[in-house]
A and B are shown apart, each in its own frame.
Chain A
Amino acid sequence: DAGVIQSPRHEVTEMGQEVTLRCKPISGHNSLFWYRQTMMRGLELLIYFNNNVPIDDSGMPEDRFSAKMPNASFSTLKIQPSEPRDSAVYFCASSLVRDEQYFGPGTRLTVT
């Protein structure tokens, strides 16, 4: 079975540009999570969806960040405009109910 799929794996962009990260959760999982990992702040939950509905977006840093889940098999995290401090590894994870989460390989974002 395919795990959580994220694309792109690496993204380098200039400050001010729009960045879109994509995630395909494991089929049948009903919860999807977006995390950000940096050396300074560790692993932070940005937002999570349950049955395609955003449940908790309290971790979204600011209005420049937005996330959507148009259907059960796809989610996007968008940053517009991007800033150098957004540089991090962004992980998507999915789960079934309240059990273990399955993480994707991550997208390493560098904003110059």
Chain B
Amino acid sequence: SQQGEEDPQALSIQEGENATMNCSYKTSINNLQWYRQNSGRGLVHLILIRSNEREKHSGRLRVTLDTSKKSSSLLITASRAADTASYFCATTLTARLTFGTGTRLQVTL
């Protein structure tokens, strides 16, 4: 299975702090994507990093990819209460996405 594993499963931080989530996967990939899911809602695409890229930024998001270790990290800087959600990494080799197990992030005031 190519399913990714996120670490930690749950993370609780205070507003203003940084949040780091990690993802490990098992097979070759074309790209890796991060998605956010608010409770009871569909997934929202956050950022995509291709297999030949090592780091990518988008606003307060920073993603790294280490294909030799088959791992990725998502850093959310200066977190806000609105960042409270579950975060999933997803890998793709063909058109299909294989999602990880997710990290539940709780940002408190």
Residues of A within 8 A of B (CB): 4, 31, 33, 42-43, 45, 48, 50, 55-56, 91, 93, 95, 97-106
Number of A-B contacts (CB under 8 A): 50
Q: Do the beta carbons of B45 and A55 come within 8 Å of each other?
A: no
Given A33-B96, A45-B97, A48-B96, A100–B45 Cβ distance below 8 Å?
Answer: yes
Is there an interface contact between B43 and A100, defined as CB atoms closer than 8 Å? no
Contact in complex: A105, B41 (CB < 8 Å):
yes
Residues 83-103 of B at the A interface (beta carbon under 8 Å): 88, 92, 94-102
How many B residues touch A, CB cutoff 8 Å? 22
A102 touches B45 (CB 8 A): yes
- Which one, A31, A102, A103, A106, contacts B95 given CB within 8 A? A31
